[in-house]
C-alpha cells in the first residue's frame, strides 16, 4: 500500500494498494526508473517470488507480474536497485544468499546463472540464526 502524509508527517490517507497472491507475504520494496517508466519491485517472502508493477504518472500501480523462483524456499526479503536500473539486488532469507537479478521494464531475469552469492560460509550456523530459523532444526 502507498500512503500520503501531511506536512507534519502524520498519515493523511491510503493512496493506493496492490493485490498479490493469496500466499504472499511482501516484505521488501524497491523502485527503479527504466527510461522514465517507474517500476515497483516487491519481495514476496511467502510466495517465494518477486513482483513487478508499473507506476503511472499519477503514482498508481498497475497489475503486478509475478516472477516465481524455481528453487524452493528462497524467500526474497530485502531489495534495492542499482542506480542505473539494470540490476535488482535481493537478499534470500531462507537461502542465506544474495542475488543480483538483471531487470528491465517489467522484466526480472531470475534464472540467470552465476548471479547468486552465499552470505554465510557453508556449514556455518552463527549468522544463519539471524537470517533463518534453519539452524534450529537438527543437522544444521
- The CA distance from 121 to 117, in Å, is 10
Which helix (DSSP H) or strand (DSSP E) does residue 131 occupy?
helix 128-131
Q: What is the DSSP letter of 134?
A: G
- Residue 101 domain-assigned? yes
What is the count of structural domains for the chain? 1
pLDDT tens-digit readout, 112-133: 656 888 877 766 665 544 444 4
- Residue 116 domain-assigned? yes
The residues of the chain scoring below 50 in pLDDT are: 128-140
- The CA distance from 103 to 4, in Å, is 28
Q: In which domain, by residue range, is 131 found?
A: 24-136
* Predicted TM-score of the model (pTM): 0.75
User: In the prediction, which pLDDT does 8 show?
Assistant: 93
- Residue 2 domain-assigned? no
- Residue 34 domain-assigned? yes
Residue in the structure block whose three cell numbers are 527510461? 35
User: In the prediction, which pLDDT does 112 show?
Assistant: 66
User: In the prediction, which pLDDT does 1 show?
Assistant: 63
- Given a contact cutoff of 8 angstroms between Cβ atoms, the answer to whether 64 and 48 are in contact is no
User: In the prediction, which pLDDT does 114 show?
Assistant: 63
Going by C-alpha positions, the residue among 114, 71, 117 that lies closest to residue 91 is: 117
Amino acid at each position: 500500500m502507498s500512503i500520503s502524509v501531511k506536512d507534519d508527517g502524520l498519515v493523511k490517507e491510503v493512496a493506493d494498494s496492490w493485490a498479490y497472491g493469496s500466499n504472499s507475504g511482501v516484505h521488501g520494496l524497491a523502485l527503479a526508473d527504466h527510461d522514465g517508466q517507474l517500476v515497483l519491485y516487491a519481495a514476496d517472502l511467502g510466495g517465494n517470488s518477486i513482483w513487478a508493477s508499473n507506476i503511472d504518472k499519477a503514482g498508481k500501480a498497475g497489475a503486478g507480474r509475478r516472477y516465481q523462483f524455481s528453487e524452493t524456499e528462497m524467500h526474497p526479503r530485502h531489495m534495492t536497485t542499482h542506480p542505473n536500473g539494470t540490476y535488482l539486488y535481493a537478499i534470500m532469507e531462507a537461502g542465506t544468499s544474495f542475488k543480483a537479478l538483471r531487470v528491465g521494464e517489467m522484466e526480472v531475469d531470475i534464472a540467470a546463472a552465476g548471479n547468486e552469492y552465499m552470505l554465510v560460509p557453508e556449514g556455518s550456523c552463527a549468522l544463519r540464526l539471524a537470517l533463518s530459523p534453519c539452524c534450529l532444526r537438527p543437522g544444521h
